[in-house]
Chain A
Amino acid sequence: MYRLGIDIGGTFTDCVLIGPGADGATYATSKALSTGDDPTSGVLAALTELSARVGVPLRELLAATERFGHGTTIGTNAVLERTGARVGLITTAGHGDALAIMRGHGRAAGRGIEDVFRVRGAAPPAPLIVPGAVLELHERVDAAGSVVVALDEARAAEAVAAFVERHRLTSVAVVFLWSLANPAHELAVEKIVAAEAPGVFVSLSSRVSPRLGEYERTVGTVLNGYVGPACTRYLSSMADRLAAEGLTAPLLVMQSSGGVVSATAAAEIALGTLDSGPTAGLTGTAALAAANRHRNVVATDMGGTSFDIGLVVNGEPVVADESVIDRYTYRLPHLDVRTTACGGGTIARRDPRTGALRVGPESAGSQPGPACYGRGGTDATVTDADVVLGLLRPESFLAGRMPLDEAAARAAVGRLADELGLGLEAAAAGILSVNNLRAATLIRQQTLERGLDPRDFVLYSYGGAGPVHAFGYAAEIGVREVLIPLGDGASTLSAYGIAAGDAARFVEMETALRAPFDDAALSAAIGDVTERARKALVDAGVFEEPRVDVWALMRYQEQLMHSLEVPVAEAGGAGLASRLVEGFLQEYAQRYGDSPAAAFQAAEVFALRARARVPGSVPQISGRPGGDVTGAAGRSAQVFWPDAGERLLTSVFDGERLGGLDRVTGPALVELPHTTVAVPRGATLTAEHGHFRLLLPSPEVGR
Chain B
Amino acid sequence: MSHADSKVVWDGVARGYVPAEPLPIDPSLALHEAGTAEVDPVTFEVIRYALLNANVEHGQTLQRLCVSPVTMLTRDFQPSILTQRGELVFLGPYLQYFSNAQSLTVKWILEHRSADPGIAPGDMFLSNDPYVGTPHQPDTIVAAPVFTDGRLFCWVANVLHHSDIGGSVVGSFCVDAADIFTDPPAFPPFKIVEAGRLRPDMEQVFLRQSRLPNVVQMDLRAAISANTATVRKVEALIARYGADAVKTVMTRVLDAGEETFRQRLRQIPDGTWSHRLYAEASHTGDTGLYRYQLTVRKRGDELFVDNAGTDPQAGSINVTYAGLVGAFLSALTASLTPDLAGAYGGVYRLVHFDPVPGTLSCADFPAAVSPSGVFTMELLISLAGSVIAKMVACGPPELRDQALGPAQPHWYGTIIAGQLGSGAPYIAVNANNMIGALPAGSDTDGMDFGGHFWIPEGIASNVEETEQLYPMLCLFRRALPCGADGAGTWRGGRSITEAYVPWGTPGMAAALYIDDSFPKAVGPFGANPSSMGRVTIKHGVGLAERFAAGEVPQDVAALPGVEQPVDHKGPPLMLGPDSVIVWTGANNPGYGDPLARDPRDVARDTSQGWLDPAAATSVYGLVWDAEGAVDGAATAALRERRLAERLAAATPPVAGPPERAGSDVVLRPVGGELAVSLVDGRPAQWASLTGRALLGSVTDDYRSNCATRDTPVNDLALEFGTRPGRPGAAMLLREYLCPITGRRLTTELIRTGDTPVTDMLLAGEGR
Please list the residues of chain A having a beta carbon within 8 angstroms of any beta carbon in chain B: 92-98, 100-108, 113-114, 116-124, 131-132, 138-140, 142-144, 148-152, 155, 177-178, 212-216, 350-351, 353-359, 420-422, 426, 429-430, 433-434, 437-438, 441, 445, 448-449, 512, 556, 558-562, 592-593, 595-596, 598-601, 701, 703
Q: Contact mask B49-61 → A, CB, 8 Å, 1/0?
A: 1101100110011
Quick check: B450 and A556 within 8 Å, CB to CB? Answer: no
B434 engages A213 (CB within 8 Å): no
CB-defined contacts of B611 to chain A, threshold 8 Å:
none
Cβ–Cβ contact B457 & A354, under 8 A: no
The answer to whether the Cβ of B449 comes within 8 Å of any Cβ in the partner chain is yes
Q: Which of A94, A150, A358 has the most CB of B within 10 A?
A: A94
Given contacts A434-B45, A595-B224, A600-B218, whether A104 and B477 have CB atoms under 8 Å apart is no
Contact with A along B492-530 (1 / 0, CB 8 A): 000010010001100000000000000000000000000
Q: How far is the CB of A359 from chain B (nearest CB, A)?
A: 8
Q: Min CB distance, B529 to chain A, in Å? A: 21
B48 A101 Cβ-Cβ under 8 A: no
In Å, the complex CA distance between A629 and B504 comes to 77
| A592 touching B225 in the complex, CB below 8 Å, given contacts A214-B463, A353-B259, A561-B63 | yes
Assuming the contacts A178-B464, A512-B468, A600-B218, asked whether A433 and B547 have C-beta atoms less than 8 A apart, the reply is no
Most buried by B among A104, A138, A213, A422: A104
**Complex contact B550–A354 (CB within 8 A):** no
Task: Tell me whether B450 and A122 are in contact (CB under 8 A).
Answer: yes
State whether A356 touches B438 (Cβ < 8 A).
no
Contact B463 A108 (CB under 8 A): no
Q: 1/0 contact trace for B316-346 toward A, CB 8 Å?
A: 0000000000000000001100111110000
**Which of B50, B65, B402, B468 is the one whose CB lies under 8 Å from A559?**
B65
Let me know if B135 is at the binding interface, CB within 8 A: no
14 further contact pairs, Cβ within 8 A, besides A351-B256, A353-B259: A98-B463, A101-B477, A104-B460, A108-B456, A119-B334, A149-B550, A178-B467, A426-B40, A433-B42, A445-B53, A512-B468, A561-B73, A592-B65, A599-B214
Task: Say yes or no for B215: interface residue by CB 8 A criterion.
Answer: yes
| A601 CB contacts on chain B under 8 angstroms | 214
Taking CB atoms and an 8 Å cut-off, the chain B residues in 218-241 that contact chain A are 218, 221-222, 224-225, 228, 233, 236, 240
Min C-beta distance of B723 to chain A, whole Å = 26
Within 8 A of A (CB), among B418-469: 432, 434-436, 438, 441, 444, 447-451, 453, 456-465, 467-469
B477 adjacent to A107 (CB under 8 Å)? no
Name the contact of A93 in the complex, choosing from B225, B335, B453, B476 (C-beta under 8 A).
B476
Q: Is B195 an interface residue (CB 8 A)?
A: no
On whether the beta carbons of B253 and A177 are closer than 8 Å, the reply is: no
Task: Given A119-B334, A350-B41, decide whether A106 and B449 contact each other with a Cβ distance below 8 A.
Answer: yes
Known: A95-B476, A142-B467, A177-B463. A100 touches B93 (CB 8 A): no
Which chain A residues border B464 with CB–CB below 8 Å?
A: 143, 177-178, 212-214
Supply 12 A–B pairs (Cβ within 8 Å), ascending by A: A93-B552, A94-B552, A95-B476, A101-B435, A101-B460, A101-B479, A119-B334, A123-B447, A434-B46, A600-B218, A701-B240, A703-B233
Cross-chain contact B257 with A132 (CB below 8 angstroms)? no
- In terms of DSSP, what is the predominant structure of the interface of chain A? loop
- Inter-chain CA distance A96–B61, complex, in Å, is 34
A213–B458 touching, CB < 8 Å: no
Q: Chain A residue with minimal CB distance to B215? A: A558
B563 CB–A CB distance under 8 Å: no
**Given A107-B450, A120-B441, A353-B260, residue A595 in contact with residue B225 (CB < 8 A):** yes
Q: Is the CB of B218 within 8 A of A97?
A: no
Most buried by B among A95, A103, A122, A358: A103
> Hey, which chain B residues are within 8 Å of A138, CB to CB?
550-552
0/1 interface trace, chain B 254-295, chain A, CB 8 Å (1 if under): 001101100000000000000000000000000000000000
Rounded to whole angstroms, the CA-CA distance of A105 and B436 in the bound complex is 10
Q: Tell me which residues from 365 to 420 in chain B have a Cβ below 8 Å from any Cβ of chain A.
A: 401-404
Say yes or no for B566: interface residue by CB 8 A criterion.
Answer: no
Q: Are B60 and A449 in contact (CB under 8 A)?
A: yes
Q: In the complex the two chains form, what is the Cα distance from A596 to B503 in whole Å?
A: 34
> Is B49 in contact with A107, judged by CB distance below 8 angstroms?
no
A108, A121, A212, A438: the one contacting B468 at CB < 8 Å is A212
Choice from A131, A152, A213, A433 contacting B550 with Cβ under 8 Å: A152
Assess whether B93 is in contact with A104, with CB atoms less than 8 Å apart.
Answer: no
Contact A140 B552 (CB under 8 A): yes
Distance between Cα atoms of A601 and B554 in the complex (Å):
39
Distance in Å from the Cβ of A391 to the closest Cβ of chain B? Answer: 17
| Chain A: minimal CB distance from B432 (Å) | 8
Q: CB of B206 within 8 A of chain A? A: no
Whether, in the assembled complex, B474 has its beta carbon less than 8 Å from a beta carbon of chain A, the answer is yes
CA A240 to CA B198, docked complex, whole Å: 68
Contact B65 A108 (CB under 8 A): no
Docked CA distance A114–B340 (Å): 8
CA distance A213 to B217 in the complex (A): 27
Measured CB to CB, the closest approach of chain B to A383, in angstroms, equals: 18
Return the contact of A148 from the options B42, B256, B473 (Cβ within 8 A): B473
Q: B residues within 8 Å of A by Cβ?
A: 40-42, 44-46, 48-50, 52-53, 56-57, 60-61, 63-69, 72-73, 93, 198, 214-215, 217-218, 221-222, 224-225, 228, 233, 236, 240, 252-253, 256-257, 259-260, 334-335, 338-342, 401-404, 432, 434-436, 438, 441, 444, 447-451, 453, 456-465, 467-469, 473-479, 496, 499, 503-504, 547, 550-552, 554, 608-609
Which residues of B sit under 8 angstroms from A108, Cβ to Cβ?
451, 456-458
By beta carbon, the residue of chain B nearest A119 is B453
Closest CB pairs A-B (n = 4): A94-B476, A430-B42, A104-B435, A558-B67
Whether the Cβ atoms of A357 and B41 lie closer than 8 Å is yes
Judge whether A117 and B341 touch: CB under 8 Å. Answer: yes
Given A119-B338, A148-B473, A354-B253, the answer on whether A596 and B41 have CB atoms closer than 8 Å is: no
- Assess whether B449 is in contact with A101, with CB atoms less than 8 Å apart: yes
Q: Which one, B214, B259, B550, contacts A150 given CB within 8 A?
A: B550
A193 to B550, CA, bound (A): 20
Beyond A116-B93, A353-B259, whether A560 also contacts B42 by CB under 8 A is no
CB-CB under 8 A from B259, the residues of chain A are 353
Most buried by B among A148, A151, A353: A353
Q: Please give me the residue from chain B that is nearest to A606 by CB atom.
A: B468
Determine the chain B residues whose CB is within 8 A of the CB of A148 once the complex forms.
473, 547, 552
Q: Which residue of A lies closest to B218 (CB)?
A: A599
Q: Are A100 and B402 in contact (CB under 8 A)?
A: no
Cβ contacts under 8 Å, B218 to chain A: 556, 558, 596, 599-600
Contacts of B469 in A (CB 8 A): 560
CA distance A561 to B49 in the complex (A): 27
Best-buried of B67, B73, B341 by chain A (most CB within 10 Å): B67
Which residues of A have CB within 8 Å of B48? Answer: 354, 356
Contacts of A107 in B (CB 8 A): 447, 450-451
B451 and A104 contacting across the interface, CB-CB below 8 Å: yes
B contact residues around A132 at 8 Å (CB): 608-609
A95, A105, A438: which contacts B477 (Cβ < 8 A)?
Answer: A95
- Among residues of A, the one whose C-beta sits closest to the C-beta of B437 is A104
A103 to B73: give the CA distance in the assembly, Å.
10
Given A131-B608, A138-B552, are A120 and B401 neighbors across the interface (CB < 8 Å)? yes
Residues of A within 8 A of B449 (CB): 100-102, 104, 106, 124
Are A104 and B236 also in contact (CB < 8 A) when A212-B465, A596-B222 are? no
B256 lies within 8 A of A103 (CB): no
Q: Is the CB of B438 within 8 A of A119?
A: yes
CB contact between A122 and one of B72, B217, B447 (< 8 Å): that residue: B447
- Identify which of B252, B468, B504 gathers the most chain A CB atoms within 10 Å of its CB: B468
Q: A212–B461 Cα gap in the complex (Å)?
A: 11
A136 to chain B, nearest CB (A): 8
- A596/B221 contact (C-beta < 8 A), A108-B457, A119-B453 known: yes
Q: In the bound complex, how far is the Cα of B326 from the Cα of A386, in angstroms?
A: 46
Chain A: CB-nearest residue to B449: A101
